[in-house]
A and B are shown apart, each in its own frame.
Chain A
């Protein structure tokens, strides 16, 4: 797949299809594509290996006060794409007037022009298994490598054009303890646009050393309240569930967010907690499916005060607000929790006696309107007593509110953050990531 050719053909096809529109018709064309290699590893060996090439064009067609969207393949060949596009526009022209009125339909506007291209230096496809496995010092590595071209584009009948392309890799992995091959692992993730073999091997060596802490019997702790240190990996999971509809303007208005009962503009979390959208890392396109451009930085929670929700143009119209270019789900795309003051050397001492948690798993709402969540500890988690690691623990279930984790229970964040690129591949390889510090939280309730 030649990405440059895709970009060129997309622009040509879009122009020709837009020229077919009648006076009361509008069109937005959104493109999404990938050329990816996937390698799945179990027991430090290859389980599945393959490639996926896919390009999808979405035609968002408006006629009068009705609209619909249609996804079709895009071949990057005007001789195929133009007839297919013309046929689909005819079909939509016939279908859309028969659909219901959409009072919150947003007509395309020109949100400008943007073109962002990130070039990467990735492993050649044929070298990937060797690079990841040949000199591996770990006997039970389980992981998933995904790499290749990703691109997104948006052109509309009001004249705007956006293009975003990147070449990225992400290797998400777990090194399992020989003593506890089902449960105890050191987790890691490397990702970016430039593969660094030395960095990878160093990370694996470091993880191997950390495994020594896990090769001991797992302690079965009683339920109750504990002080906890959540490493950035664990905070990443809390941010993931916070991102699930909580800050969406439409979810708040519909009563589907734990902020629905809160007062906008008030302090609802700890003053130590600040959350923002930060697109400056370049992981993801800034434009949404309407072509709106999100700002590089957008404060959402500032020193505990709720200052913004995520709003796209459709929600803005429905609820008479100003859009800030949020995506269709109004979830954070590149969120960052700002760091605090706790240095790495201080972590164990300030934790004193409690749990050192590197990962959390399967978080879900146990009482969404009131912000209560449940989930499990996972992988390398330890009991700490008087600032010293005692040993690894069996998984524990917690049930606690987000208003406690990031509110009255929060003592501090670390002065460092970690980057967690997006590893998910449901339907297609996702872009994005999160930047998170570690967190010291008191009095967390563990129930099972």
Chain B
């Protein structure tokens, strides 16, 4: 028989310095349509519990999908065993100070209607099928795909130090993609990138994204790309649209500033960081135009939450101000280990993974330049839109990005479309070439459910808002 969450801690029958329990329940739907047909829509019900034990300075964890008394008790014993066998070799001595004590029963979002088997899902799928048929209507288009991922999640957290938190979320990720071919040229265009329109909110919001107006633009773009010249090569001015700024922020600000990465935890897998503990407060990460915020409270942004997964209350913090690096992205464990101030970002992908430092909502604050002013300031350059490729070295320094579409700018005017635009650079010099930052009118907020990191590996949801930005003198190049 299933143990009610509020009884779990009482029934564990282990003695430890501290115990925490995190239960996660999810219902999810992946609705998919391709070329006017349903493409195997899938659903999932998932539930499990993670028990975390602190003993002799070491956290041990054990997780199970099975919520009966016997399984829960056995799992707790495993967690205690893990802590005990790990303690003699621990990398840091943790205490209850790394596990705060808060109570919260309401959540930012009202609990929504149960997702699975509702009438809404077939209705949404029908809409996706219709739109995929609409996208496919032009002959050069060889593939048209429309998708929506929907996840409802309830997360409950309790601890022996008195934490008691319930949070409810609804995550929605719509996506649209077309591929077209003409002769030897094949081009793909999406709606602002791979699931870039990820948001938290209601299903009604899908209509603002998955619609014919956006479909018309995606089709027009891909057909234009088929006849476009390749992007030229050279050191040019580079204007990045918000749907490419998203990846630039993610890879060259977000990840390098994760404090657990700076402490070396990720060196075997995702890599390290060029940032050192001593850089905070001193490193000029970018030009004075650069202001970056960690903001877990933005309504609808994909990584908005009230508490992180060890129960720390999440609040906005300035990370970079006028180009100066102020604060890292690390939760209470990393803050303790490094001595640095951080943010509430210890998060886990699900009940079956331990919490680690994750980027969260990381946004470039808007500046004061209009779109016209930014384009007008370019003598010879390229505007690049929508990320399609990303690569960076294991210290987060040398990067290369590719985009779906480019526009040549000459003497302040867009003159034509170019295909296969790419650029490369090094993180700190690049951000110090940030010359103009768009105003709030140019700002867009995007997200993704696919930020990967950790051992065992985990996918995290992140959000990135950014305006249009101008960078001077960047190495730009085209395709083969």
User: What is the interface of chain A, defined by CB distance below 8 A to chain B?
Assistant: 36, 38-40, 42-43, 45-56, 66-73, 75, 91, 94-95, 98-104, 125-126, 128-130, 133-134, 142-144, 146, 172-174, 176, 181-183, 185, 254-256, 260-261, 361-372, 374-376, 378, 395, 397, 399, 401, 424-427, 429, 447-448
> Contacts of B457 on A, CB cut-off 8 Å?
424-426
| Cα of A343 to Cα of B451 in the assembled complex, Å | 41
B371: Cβ under 8 A from any A Cβ: no
**Which 9 pairs from chain A and chain B are nearest by CB?**
A100-B38, A50-B61, A144-B455, A425-B456, A98-B122, A71-B44, A45-B91, A367-B479, A370-B480
> Contacts of A425 on B, CB cut-off 8 Å?
455-457
B459: Cβ under 8 A from any A Cβ: yes
Q: Is the CB of B389 within 8 A of A40?
A: no
| Cα of A365 to Cα of B459 in the assembled complex, Å | 21
Known contacts A50-B62, A73-B65, A73-B66; A372 and B479 CB within 8 A of each other: yes
| Cα of A250 to Cα of B452 in the assembled complex, Å | 26
| Cα of A101 to Cα of B129 in the assembled complex, Å | 10
Kindly supply a per-residue 1/0 record for chain B positions 261-286, scoring 1 wherever the CB is within 8 Å of any chain A CB and 0 otherwise.
00111011101111000000000000
Q: Is the CB of A182 within 8 A of B393?
A: no
Q: Supply 8 further A-B pairs (C-beta < 8 A) apart from A364-B391, A364-B400.
A: A52-B352, A72-B45, A182-B395, A185-B267, A254-B179, A255-B188, A397-B398, A399-B400
Known contacts A366-B402, A395-B393; A75 and B91 CB within 8 A of each other: no
Q: B356's closest neighbor in chain A, by CB?
A: A48
Q: Is the CB of A401 within 8 A of B39?
A: no
CB distance from B460 to the nearest CB of A (A): 11
CB distance from A427 to the nearest CB of B (A): 8
Q: Is the CB of A100 within 8 A of B33?
A: yes
Q: Which of these, B40, B267, B391, B475, contacts A67 with CB under 8 Å?
A: B40
CB distance from B367 to the nearest CB of A (A): 28
Q: Which of these, B46, B91, B426, contacts A46 with CB under 8 Å?
A: B91
> Contacts of B90 on A, CB cut-off 8 Å?
45-46
Known contacts A256-B179, A426-B459; A173 and B389 CB within 8 A of each other: no
| Cα of A363 to Cα of B393 in the assembled complex, Å | 10
Q: Which of these, A69, A372, A447, contacts B40 with CB under 8 Å?
A: A69
Q: B78's closest neighbor in chain A, by CB?
A: A51
CB distance from A265 to the nearest CB of B (A): 19
Kindly supply a per-residue 1/0 record for chain B positions 116-142, scoring 1 wherever the CB is within 8 Å of any chain A CB and 0 otherwise.
110101100110010000000000001
Most chain B C-beta atoms within 10 Å of own C-beta, residue among A43, A54, A126, A130: A54
CB distance from A158 to the nearest CB of B (A): 19
Q: Is the CB of B89 within 8 A of A397?
A: no
Q: Is the CB of B179 within 8 A of A47?
A: no
Q: Is the CB of B86 within 8 A of A142?
A: no
B422: Cβ under 8 A from any A Cβ: yes
Q: A447's closest neighbor in chain B, by CB?
A: B424
| Cα of A68 to Cα of B397 in the assembled complex, Å | 44
Q: B422's closest neighbor in chain A, by CB?
A: A366
Kindly supply a per-residue 1/0 record for chain B positions 362-384, scoring 1 wherever the CB is within 8 Å of any chain A CB and 0 otherwise.
00000000000000000000000
CB distance from A137 to the nearest CB of B (A): 15
Known contacts A70-B42, A182-B267; A101 and B37 CB within 8 A of each other: yes
Q: Is the CB of A183 within 8 A of B126?
A: no
| Cα of A77 to Cα of B59 in the assembled complex, Å | 31
Q: Which of these, A45, A66, A370, contacts B479 with CB under 8 Å?
A: A370
| Cα of A365 to Cα of B143 in the assembled complex, Å | 20
> Contacts of B116 on A, CB cut-off 8 Å?
91
B206: Cβ under 8 A from any A Cβ: no
Most chain A C-beta atoms within 10 Å of own C-beta, residue among B47, B62, B85: B85
Q: Is the CB of A376 within 8 A of B391?
A: yes
> Contacts of A362 on B, CB cut-off 8 Å?
271, 391-394
Q: Which of these, B83, B181, B273, B456, contacts A38 with CB under 8 Å?
A: B456
Q: Is the CB of B394 within 8 A of A95?
A: no
| Cα of A94 to Cα of B62 in the assembled complex, Å | 37
Most chain B C-beta atoms within 10 Å of own C-beta, residue among A103, A134, A182, A363: A182
Q: Is the CB of B456 within 8 A of A125?
A: no
> Contacts of A261 on B, CB cut-off 8 Å?
184, 186
> Contacts of B122 on A, CB cut-off 8 Å?
95, 98-99
| Cα of A55 to Cα of B66 in the assembled complex, Å | 9
> Contacts of A367 on B, CB cut-off 8 Å?
402, 420, 422, 479-480
Q: B230's closest neighbor in chain A, by CB?
A: A367
Kindly supply a per-residue 1/0 record for chain B positions 179-202, scoring 1 wherever the CB is within 8 Å of any chain A CB and 0 otherwise.
111001111100000000000000
| Cα of A354 to Cα of B210 in the assembled complex, Å | 51
Q: Is the CB of A401 within 8 A of B125?
A: no
B58: Cβ under 8 A from any A Cβ: yes
What are 11 A-B contacts with C-beta separation under 8 Å?
A: A42-B265, A46-B58, A49-B58, A50-B60, A99-B38, A99-B122, A102-B40, A255-B142, A255-B186, A361-B394, A426-B459
Q: Is the CB of B394 within 8 A of A43?
A: no
| Cα of A369 to Cα of B142 in the assembled complex, Å | 14
B43: Cβ under 8 A from any A Cβ: yes
> Contacts of A95 on B, CB cut-off 8 Å?
117, 121-122
Known contacts A51-B82, A376-B393; A68 and B43 CB within 8 A of each other: yes
Q: Is the CB of A38 within 8 A of B455?
A: yes
| Cα of A43 to Cα of B41 in the assembled complex, Å | 45
Known contacts A91-B116, A367-B420, A448-B398; A50 and B82 CB within 8 A of each other: yes
Q: Which of these, A125, A128, A182, contacts B272 with CB under 8 Å?
A: A182
CB distance from B414 to the nearest CB of A (A): 23
Q: Is the CB of A53 within 8 A of B125?
A: no
> Contacts of A255 on B, CB cut-off 8 Å?
142-143, 179-181, 186, 188
Q: Which of these, A67, A94, A142, A363, contacts B264 with CB under 8 Å?
A: A142
CB distance from B391 to the nearest CB of A (A): 4
Known contacts A255-B142, A372-B480; A42 and B264 CB within 8 A of each other: yes
B257: Cβ under 8 A from any A Cβ: no
Q: Is the CB of A361 within 8 A of B271?
A: yes
> Contacts of B274 on A, CB cut-off 8 Å?
182
| Cα of A425 to Cα of B41 in the assembled complex, Å | 24
> Contacts of B389 on A, CB cut-off 8 Å?
364-366, 368, 374
> Contacts of A38 on B, CB cut-off 8 Å?
455-456
> Contacts of B170 on A, CB cut-off 8 Å?
none
B75: Cβ under 8 A from any A Cβ: yes
CB distance from A371 to the nearest CB of B (A): 8
Q: Is the CB of A142 within 8 A of B89?
A: no
> Contacts of A47 on B, CB cut-off 8 Å?
91, 265
B325: Cβ under 8 A from any A Cβ: no
| Cα of A134 to Cα of B86 in the assembled complex, Å | 11
Q: Is the CB of B60 within 8 A of A54?
A: no
| Cα of A255 to Cα of B180 in the assembled complex, Å | 8
Q: Which of these, A55, A73, A448, contacts B400 with CB under 8 Å?
A: A448
Kindly supply a per-residue 1/0 record for chain B positions 54-82, scoring 1 wherever the CB is within 8 Å of any chain A CB and 0 otherwise.
00001111111110000100010011011
B88: Cβ under 8 A from any A Cβ: yes
CB distance from B287 to the nearest CB of A (A): 21
Q: Is the CB of B48 within 8 A of A100?
A: no
Q: A401's closest neighbor in chain B, by CB?
A: B480
> Contacts of B121 on A, CB cut-off 8 Å?
95
Q: Is the CB of B126 within 8 A of A100?
A: yes
B174: Cβ under 8 A from any A Cβ: no
CB distance from A439 to the nearest CB of B (A): 20
Q: A376's closest neighbor in chain B, by CB?
A: B393
CB distance from B281 to the nearest CB of A (A): 20
Q: Is the CB of A71 within 8 A of B398?
A: no
Known contacts A46-B91, A72-B45, A102-B38; A376 and B75 CB within 8 A of each other: no
Known contacts A47-B265, A99-B122, A256-B179; A378 and B394 CB within 8 A of each other: yes
